[in-house]
Amino acid sequence: MQQPDNPAPMSILITGASGFIGSFIVEEALRQGFETWAAVRKSSSRRYLLDSRIHFIELDLSSEDTVRSQLSGHTFDYVVHAAGATKCLHHDDFLKVNHQGTVNLVNAILKLQMPMRRFVYLSSLSVYGAIHEQRPYQEIEENDTPRPNTAYGKSKLKTERFLDTIGSDFNYIILRPTGVYGPREKDYFLMAKSIRQHLGFSVGYRQQDITFVYVRDVVQAIFLCLDRGMSGRKYFLTDGNIYQSSDFSDLIHEELGSSWWIRIKAPLWVLRFVTLIGESIGRLKGQSSALNNDKYNILRQRNWRCNIEPTCDELGYHPDYSLRDGVKETIAWYKENQWL
C-alpha cells in the first residue's frame, strides 16, 4: 500500500517493533511514507530502530488499564500486532503474553473508541498442529479443525478465537505464516552456525514436507492487508513451494561455501530426550531454551503444507523470495554483521 501524495500521512502502530519481524515492518512503513509508531518496552533493544523518523511509544501489554493510559491521546489508522513470545520458561507465559496481551491491547483500543481502519494480527500456521499427517500429505485448509500441539500454537489459536468474538465494529485480519526466516532471526541462525562448524542435524525418518516464508514476504502480506481482504479473514503465508527437511541445510551449506560437513539424522526419541534435558536445564537456569517441548512437537510434525491460494487471490500476494533467494540474502547478512 503506497501512501498518496498529501501532507497528512496515515499513521501505523507496530507492536513488537524491536523484534525480528517487527523491525522489518517498521522499515517498510517508513519506506511507504507512513507516520510510523514503534511500540516498545523499556527493556527493548532499539538496535534496528535507528531511523530518526520513527516515533516511539512504550506499551505495557500486561495490563489493560496501563496500555489504555499509554494509548490515550493517540489515534492510529492501522495497528499491526506483531508482539508475542515464541519461547517461554513456563507454558502459562504463552497465554499471558500472546493471548492476554492481545486482549488487553484490543480492549484498550475499543474503550478509547479509536477510529482505526484495520487491525492486523500476526498468528501462525502452528494453530493447526499435526493434521493430515498420513501420506500423501494434503494441504492444510482454513476450514480444517485446528489441533495445536504446542503451547505457542494453543495461545495463538485462543487469541484468534477472541478476535472472532468481538463483532463487526472491529476491522481485523489474521495472518498465519509458516516458518519465518531472514536476517536478524536467531533460531534458524543456530542451524547456520552449526553447519559453519561442519555439522548438520535432522530428525525422523519419515518424509517431512516443510514450508517457509521469507521475512520480507511476510511484510509484503501485512501491507496488502491494510486495504485488501475482508474483515475477519485468515490467510496462510508461505513462499508457495514445498521443501524436504534437507533443503534448508543444503542451501545454507552451499552459501557458506563449506568444504565438508557431517549430516546426522537422528530418530525422534533422541530429539525427545534432548528437548527434555534442554527444557529442564532452562528451568534450572531460569531461562527459556530453544530445545523445549514445543520444539520437539514442531520437528516431529511431518506435514507443513497449507493452501495460500486465497491469500494470493484476495490480497494479491505474490511471494518474491524462493528459499534459495532468501537463504542467500540471509547468510550474506549474517556474514556482513559478523554473526558468522
Which domain CATH number covers 81?
Answer: 3.40.50.720
pLDDT for 107 equals 97
pLDDT for 10 equals 97
Residue 244 lies in a domain: no
pLDDT for 106 equals 98
Residue 191 lies in a domain: no
Residue 94 lies in a domain: yes
CA Rg, the chain, in Å? 20
CA distances from 44 to 17, 26, 58, 103, 181 (A): 9, 15, 10, 21, 21
Residue 122 lies in a domain: yes
Residue 339 lies in a domain: no
Q: Identify the domain containing residue 170 by its residue range.
A: 11-181+213-238+305-320
CA distances from 137 to 60, 245, 247 (A): 42, 15, 18
Structural domains in the chain (count): 1
Residue 263 lies in a domain: no
Q: Would the CA dihedral through 131, 90, 271, 322 be positive or negative?
A: positive
Per-residue pLDDT of the chain in tens (340 residues, 90 and over written 9): 655 555 689 999 999 999 999 999 999 999 999 999 999 988 889 999 999 999 999 999 999 999 999 999 999 999 999 999 998 888 899 999 999 999 999 999 999 999 999 999 999 999 999 999 999 999 999 999 999 999 999 999 999 999 999 988 899 999 999 999 999 999 999 999 999 999 988 888 889 999 999 999 999 999 999 999 999 999 999 999 999 989 999 999 999 997 789 988 888 888 888 888 887 787 777 777 777 788 888 888 999 999 999 999 999 999 999 999 999 999 999 999 999 9
Residue 264 lies in a domain: no
pLDDT for 7 equals 63
